[in-house]
Structure 1
Amino acid sequence: MDNTQIWLKDWASAIGIALSDNQLEQFEAYYRLLIEWNEKMNLTGITERSAVYEKHFYDSLTVSTVADLSGSVSLADIGSGAGFPSIPLKIAFPRIRVTIVDSLAKRIRFLEEVVSSLGLADVTCLHGRAEDVARLPEHRDRHDVATARAVARLAGLNELCLPFVKPGGIFVAMKGSDIAEELDEGRFSIEKLNAAVHQTKRLELPNERSERHLIVMVKKGPTPKAYPRKAGIPLKTPLLRNAIRL
């Protein structure tokens, strides 16, 4: 175990996660695959090992500070990209059941390789648009937790993610430093999708000290039949209180 792995183990411990040697080996295998595949396709602009461990791995694990991931929790990760936050969360909490949705087939192939190489069970990688997958009965209003990291502004993102969450479940939107305007802009879509803001948690990365926020929304009832709208519309024409209706 080197210094970078010790840092991750200590950082995880500070937020209540005990990582075993095997789990640390899984994180290292994940890192190696990320760098290998990143040479063939654009997965991340962050490649320096300690930065990946802090800005991708640890940052993903912070979801556990606002979501109960004990037991067989069902988590849907929307627009997962290179697998953040769902793959780090699956490594740290092996019993959770993960569904990863991404619109780019080659990213899904990468994630399938990660899942296979790391020996992760109960992970489903779906190639498709979130608007279409959320209409499927097996995913609509079905998941305990939905997550999204660096995907889009809340006003559009809410319509992509909240339909996956079952009543009583939560959506955790992972955001950076300036969230006040975006949160205010997104409140109308939150109401329209039968949800409410439960809490907003501010965090800092351990070494870099850059600011992060977790916006937690609780689902109050089933998704209205009108949502999500057709693929592409939620991000092009987000639900805004003063939007012009054509």
Structure 2
Amino acid sequence: MDSTQQHFIQLLEEQHISLSMHQLDQFELYYKILVEWNEKMNLTGITEREQVYLKHFYDSLSVAFNYEIGTVSSVADIGSGAGFPSIPLKIAFPHLKITIVDSLNKRILFLRELVSQLGLTDTECVHGRAEDIARLPKYRDRFDLVTARAVARLQVLNEFCLPFVKKGGTFIAMKGSEIEEELGEASFSLSELKGKVVRVNRMQLPVEESIRHFVEIHKLAATPAKYPRKAGIPLKEPLIKL
């Protein structure tokens, strides 16, 4: 174990998350596969090892710092990209049943290879637009927890993600430093999609000290039949009160 891994373990233990040597080996293999595939396709602009551990792995696991992940069974990660936050969460919390949705088939091929090499079970990688996949009965109103890591503004993310959350479940949007304006914009979409913000947690990332916000949204009822709208529309015409 080197200094990067020791620092990673220390930071997580401060948040009451412990990793076995096997889990640490999985994170190291994840890093190697990520860098290898990144030479062939654009998965991340962050490839320096210490930065990957901090800005991708630790940042992904921060979902669990203020949320009781042990009570969760099923997780859907929408627009996961290179597997963040869902794959780090699966490594650290192996009981989770993970579904990853991404619109780019190349990324899904990478994720399937990653899942295979890491030996992860109960992890499904689905190719498709969130708006289309959320219409399928297998995925609609099904998940205890849904995550998205800064892929769009909150009023758009709500339409991408809340249709996957079951009644009584939670959507956590991982956002950057500026969040107040987005929260204001998102009020109508929350009302339409039967969501309610229950809290916003703030975290300062170690070392670089950038700010993260975690918008925790509770799903109050099943998704209305008209949502999500057809693929592409939520991004072009975000839900706003006319």
How does the TM-score come out when normalised to structure 2?
A: 0.98
- For residues 153-199 of structure 1, the C-alpha deviation after alignment (integer angstroms, 9 at most, x for no partner) is 01111000000000110000000001110111011101110010011
- In 2, the alpha carbon distance for the partners of 1:72 and 1:202 equals 21
- In 2, the alpha carbon distance for the partners of 1:7 and 1:73 equals 29
Q: Is the 8 A contact 1:173 1:214 kept in 2?
A: yes
Moved more, 70-79 or 168-177: 70-79
- In 2, the alpha carbon distance for the partners of 1:7 and 1:167 equals 39
Alignment of 1:9-20 (within 5 A): 9-20=9-20
Q: Aligned AA for 2:165?
A: V
Change (3 A) 1:189 1:71: closer
Q: Does structure 1 residue 117 correspond to structure 2 residue 117? A: yes
Q: Aligned AA for 2:219?
A: K
Q: Aligned AA for 1:196?
A: K
- For residues 10-44 of structure 1, the C-alpha deviation after alignment (integer angstroms, 9 at most, x for no partner) is 11111121111111110000000000000000000
Identity of matched residues, % = 61
Q: Report the CA distance between 1:114 and its aligned residue.
A: 0.7
- In 2, the alpha carbon distance for the partners of 1:167 and 1:118 equals 32
Change (3 A) 1:188 1:71: closer
**Counterpart for residue 233 of structure 1:** 233
Q: Does structure 1 residue 217 correspond to structure 2 residue 217? A: yes
User: SS of the counterpart of 1:81?
Assistant: coil
Q: Is the 8 A contact 1:71 1:96 kept in 2?
A: no
**Counterpart for residue 57 of structure 1:** 57
Q: Report the CA distance between 1:71 and its aligned residue.
A: 5.7
**Counterpart for residue 195 of structure 2:** 195
User: SS of the counterpart of 2:94?
Assistant: coil
Q: Is the 8 A contact 2:72 2:144 kept in 1?
A: no
Q: Aligned AA for 1:156?
A: V
**Counterpart for residue 33 of structure 1:** 33
Q: Aligned AA for 1:67?
A: Y
User: SS of the counterpart of 2:70?
Assistant: coil
- In 2, the alpha carbon distance for the partners of 1:22 and 1:152 equals 34
How does the TM-score come out when normalised to structure 1?
A: 0.97
- For residues 127-166 of structure 1, the C-alpha deviation after alignment (integer angstroms, 9 at most, x for no partner) is 0010011011111000000000021001111000000000
- In 2, the alpha carbon distance for the partners of 1:181 and 1:147 equals 20
Q: Report the CA distance between 1:72 and its aligned residue.
A: 6.0
**Counterpart for residue 137 of structure 1:** 137
- In 1, the alpha carbon distance for the partners of 2:48 and 2:59 equals 15
- In 2, the alpha carbon distance for the partners of 1:131 and 1:168 equals 21
**Counterpart for residue 153 of structure 2:** 153
**Counterpart for residue 175 of structure 1:** 175
Q: Report the CA distance between 1:7 and its aligned residue.
A: 1.1
User: SS of the counterpart of 2:196?
Assistant: strand
Q: Report the CA distance between 1:66 and its aligned residue.
A: 3.3
Q: Is the 8 A contact 1:67 1:145 kept in 2?
A: no
Q: Is the 8 A contact 1:163 1:228 kept in 2?
A: yes
Q: Report the CA distance between 1:68 and its aligned residue.
A: 2.4
**Counterpart for residue 207 of structure 1:** 207
Q: Is the 8 A contact 1:63 1:214 kept in 2?
A: yes
- In 1, the alpha carbon distance for the partners of 2:188 and 2:54 equals 34
Q: Is the 8 A contact 1:205 1:212 kept in 2?
A: yes
Q: Aligned AA for 1:185?
A: E
**Counterpart for residue 101 of structure 1:** 101
Q: Aligned AA for 2:153?
A: R
- In 1, the alpha carbon distance for the partners of 2:102 and 2:150 equals 13
User: SS of the counterpart of 1:70?
Assistant: helix
Q: Structure 1, unaligned stretches of length 5 or more? A: none
Q: Aligned AA for 2:210?
A: S
Q: Structure 2, unaligned stretches of length 5 or more? A: none
Q: What do you get for the CA RMSD once the two structures are aligned?
A: 0.9
- In 1, the alpha carbon distance for the partners of 2:159 and 2:71 equals 27
- For residues 181-221 of structure 1, the C-alpha deviation after alignment (integer angstroms, 9 at most, x for no partner) is 01110111011100100110000111111100000000000
